[in-house]
Amino acid sequence: MVDDFRGTNTNSKVPAEIVETMLRQQNLPGVKISDKLGDRKIIYRNSFQDKVFLNVFEGGHEMIVEAALNHIPSKSILTIGDSNGAAENGWANQLKKIRSADLIVNTSVSGNTIGFDNGNSPRLNTLTMVDSYIQEGVENAKLIDCIVILLGTNDCKAIFDDQLKEVPKNLERLISSIQNSTKLNETPRIIIVSPPPYGSDEILKEKYKGGAKKVSYLTTEFEKVAKKTGVEFLDIYTPLKPMFNLLSHDGVHLSEEGQIIIAKLIDKKIDL
């Protein structure tokens, strides 16, 4: 099965010595896995690219139907974001935990903007990179059901102060690029998520100072763009604002608790 996906990583396959030990001893001594398959103890597990899953468990000649089928995705979701989406404990990975039956392809990149070359890097310009994000989604999911875009934080950096009014226009161009992409068999559902709040200038690094007012402005403008382009909008700014100082140590990056809140709000929106 791994070979079917052109896998070249031998670590994704079951080593011969493990196969031999399990066949000979009907167990794998020294390995402890806390998770269970139903009420069965798991002896060995491995996976490849979130496509092939192997769980060897203590049991008889049986199939636990729910466990065998619960990883099959019901939706294919492409997520596009910045550092809050790219982080190990970020909202995209939290969404994967919540929506374990879905296939979520996360293309978030730290420093990403909607339409600026952040740090003179085209790689951090989503307008420039969106085709490659869609291609990655199509290669993994073939048919993308939903695209979730959570950007805007880096577009509010002090270096882009004079270009703030360009941001909503860039978002409109980004949505149009997706809606007219020849890489998609059909236009997926698109959810534009407002950027989260900023902290006060007292705790912000110099490059982020003044960002609080700008993300408030973008929240209003992004909702207008969503209505104009016929896509969906999710406001996370408003529910996060009253407690944001408790959810971010630097006024920009959210704690795991904050990331979970965002993921839950997105999850609820997807299910509407």
Nearest to 270 by CA among 147, 87, 88, 136: 147
d(CA 265, CA 24): 49
d(CA 177, CA 72): 30
To 5 degrees, how large is the angle CA 214–CA 217–CA 218? 90
pLDDT-derived band of residue 41, with 50, 70 and 90 as boundaries?
Answer: confident
Tokens of 23: 């066949």
Domains and CATH numbers, the chain: 3-69 (no CATH), 76-270 (3.40.50.1110)
Residue 52's pLDDT is what? 64
Tokens of 49: 């690219």
> Which stretches does DSSP call E strand in the chain?
36-37, 40-48, 52-57, 76-81, 103-106, 146-150, 189-193, 232-234
What percent of the chain is predicted at pLDDT more than 70? 79
Residue 267's pLDDT is what? 97
Q: Rounded to 5, what percent of the chain is helix, strand, coil?
A: 45, 15, 40
Nearest to 115 by CA among 168, 192, 189: 168
Instruction: Convert the pLDDT of each residue in 87-105 to its tens digit.
Output: 999 999 999 999 999 999 9
Instruction: Convert the pLDDT of each residue in 144-202 to its tens digit.
Output: 999 999 999 999 999 999 999 999 999 999 999 999 999 998 899 999 999 999 999 99
Residue 4 predicted with pLDDT over 60:
no
